Structure 1
């Protein structure tokens, strides 16, 4: 038996004794802590997402304000039989898709260059009417702002219809623009929305957009909207249903949910008293957990969960898993004993077979 044990039987990772040997109390470099209510409270850190005041306080863009790059539609009626702009006998002249140039001006025959940017369609109508009134009696002018490229936002990422969209009256806010682009194409619970505005950046959870109305911010020209899936993940190793790098499926993830996400504990191999969470903890949290003030830089922490304790399942339910964590479940002592016995019995069987062949 000793000979077989010394050969190094295969296993999924270190046992509890070997992990505890890495503690700072035993000249290792990791702090090993049993999870309790205090540890759970101190380590319950969830990424804070939200918009700054600059985003929240921005007023809604007036959709009727004309900007450089916009496209306008003009219809001009003249009260004469021989109009300046149209053919004889034609009561109205239609000027389709008049582009506002980079300086904010448009050109109207007999009215010349007219400043359009900064005016509403109604204000521009009055300006054009005044200019044409000198050339033709009692002209009537209609100005409409078409969907041009003056005030636009780009929507990219996990969205049904990526593209560049104009800011119009129905799409002046973030939620309305996302709806205009067909909505998110990933699970809403793990969707994140990032707004890039010049040098400013803001990120929120998609669900928070509807749970907190103040996050439904007004959009600005040249805003970039990025929809992406939550990239946080943890690694599951040891006696679990699956050993893999696993992405978060919810905004917050507890230890018990992480174990369930990988298929639970292996019923034939897992030791429920040995569930470990390995983490590089920021110094601020490490000092709070250890009740110290002298630690500097990230600290190696090993959190221990014993699911067999009276409140063990509750502790695992409340302990928050964070991005980059490693969740490791040790094998039950019986598993190694079983492997040893199998190796011994296999050796004896092989020896008996060889003896039988020799005879």
Structure 2
């Protein structure tokens, strides 16, 4: 792979060749990395239109009872009414399959909210509690019982939260189901309950799927812009996926000490960091004036060139941020290319010539 600046246009595109011709690969746009270009790229990144996540933002409210929740209800001074609806009755004590089956199939002690959002309670009959908070459901039940009991005092709470849940997947310690309880389920809360993001996880690539729509969340960027990630409120059925850093790699090749694929650090990696983590430019064969960054920018391909010998090159390399799937390439010096060409044409010729003119012993 060899680059020559004369083969590229400067900030212009060549006309597309006719289909089926050998020159279907369009000459990419060549742009020189200068302080002005670095500033322009930074401004474009800051002004880049991000996905609207306003639908995910909200203020947490009290937990509302829904279908499937199990309620614990206590009527003071009336123990015969407390949890009388679904208290499991213990059968004869025994061993074997019958005992284990009874333990796993016995209904939970409490009042289960049915598919219509209703519970059955003595004297009160059918009480629709779906959509109510615990305080609202308690007051409603107390009003129903007041027809039969004198100033009834009722304690009502959700014993088992089973109606609402979210799913956390990807690069977290404990992926799986997370039940929404009386503690508001925010994005940060869900990730913390899952054990946190693993070192292999990319905090700039968190996907929240709601009703078939994917929302991309960049946590470091949100904090930088003054948006509290805890304001992202999750609802039942949301799916959260933390992507791996391996999905956003930068490829460094050419005349560097250690060509490799580098993962980005939470969505950020500069050209200077990429060269440094690859061991730098090969001192024997690398051409510091021909450092290229190849990037696919929509329908066109852009090649950025940095002259590493120019004053301030390190500062420009540090300010030039790479994008996922960028290719960083360091070209070889003309002497290295000549040496390799001769070695391919005449294998062993150079070593023989050097030996012939070397000092004799």
Give the structure-2-normalised TM-score: 0.73
Deviates more, 1:321-330 or 1:187-196: 187-196
By how many angstroms is 1:126 displaced? 3.1
* CA deviation profile, 1:95-116 (whole Å, cap 9, x unmatched): 9232111211011234322111
Q: Which residues of 2 match residues 247-286 of structure 1 at below 5 A?
A: 247-282=263-298
By how many angstroms is 1:144 displaced? 1.0
Higher relative contact order (CA 8 A, sep 6+): 1
2: CA distance between counterparts of 1:163 and 1:205?
21
> What residue is the counterpart of 2:75 in the other structure?
76
SS in 1 for 2:183: helix
Name which of 111, 124, 135 aligns with 2:137: 124
Check 1:329–1:140 CA distance in 2 against 1; reply closer, same or farther (3 A cut): same
Say whether the 8 Å CA contact 1:188–1:206 is kept in structure 2: no
By how many angstroms is 1:253 displaced? 2.0
Name which of 342, 349, 353 aligns with 1:344: 349
Say whether the 8 Å CA contact 2:201–2:243 is kept in structure 1: no
Say whether the 8 Å CA contact 1:186–1:229 is kept in structure 2: no
Name which of 146, 167, 183 aligns with 1:154: 167
Say whether the 8 Å CA contact 2:271–2:322 is kept in structure 1: yes
SS in 2 for 1:117: coil
> What residue is the counterpart of 2:335 in the other structure?
334
> What residue is the counterpart of 1:59 in the other structure?
59
> What residue is the counterpart of 1:226 in the other structure?
241
By how many angstroms is 1:142 displaced? 1.8
By how many angstroms is 1:343 displaced? 3.9
Q: Give the unaligned 5+ runs of structure 1.
A: 1-12, 88-94, 283-297, 353-359
Say whether the 8 Å CA contact 2:118–2:130 is kept in structure 1: yes
Say whether the 8 Å CA contact 1:51–1:215 is kept in structure 2: no
2: CA distance between counterparts of 1:43 and 1:207?
19
Check 1:265–1:215 CA distance in 2 against 1; reply closer, same or farther (3 A cut): same
SS in 1 for 2:330: strand
Say whether the 8 Å CA contact 2:202–2:244 is kept in structure 1: no
2: CA distance between counterparts of 1:223 and 1:73?
27
Check 1:61–1:228 CA distance in 2 against 1; reply closer, same or farther (3 A cut): farther
1: CA distance between counterparts of 2:202 and 2:83?
58
Check 1:278–1:120 CA distance in 2 against 1; reply closer, same or farther (3 A cut): closer
Q: Give the unaligned 5+ runs of structure 2.
A: 15-25, 85-107
Check 1:165–1:335 CA distance in 2 against 1; reply closer, same or farther (3 A cut): same
2: CA distance between counterparts of 1:85 and 1:69?
19
SS in 2 for 1:321: coil
> What residue is the counterpart of 2:257 in the other structure?
241
> What residue is the counterpart of 1:20 in the other structure?
5
Give me the CA root mean square deviation: 3.4
By how many angstroms is 1:194 displaced? 1.9
* CA deviation profile, 1:178-201 (whole Å, cap 9, x unmatched): 222221123576453222221443
1: CA distance between counterparts of 2:127 and 2:244?
47
Say whether the 8 Å CA contact 2:33–2:304 is kept in structure 1: yes
By how many angstroms is 1:21 displaced? 4.3
Name which of 125, 128, 142 aligns with 1:115: 128
Give the structure-1-normalised TM-score: 0.74
> What residue is the counterpart of 1:309 in the other structure?
310
By how many angstroms is 1:77 displaced? 3.8
* CA deviation profile, 1:101-152 (whole Å, cap 9, x unmatched): 1211011234322111122223322333343444555544321112322222
* CA deviation profile, 1:166-216 (whole Å, cap 9, x unmatched): 222334322223222221123576453222221443222233455534432
* CA deviation profile, 1:282-321 (whole Å, cap 9, x unmatched): 4xxxxxxxxxxxxxxx233322111111122222222222
Structure 1 residue ranges (4+ consecutive) displaced by more than 6 angstroms after TM superposition = 84-87, 349-352
Aligned residues: 311
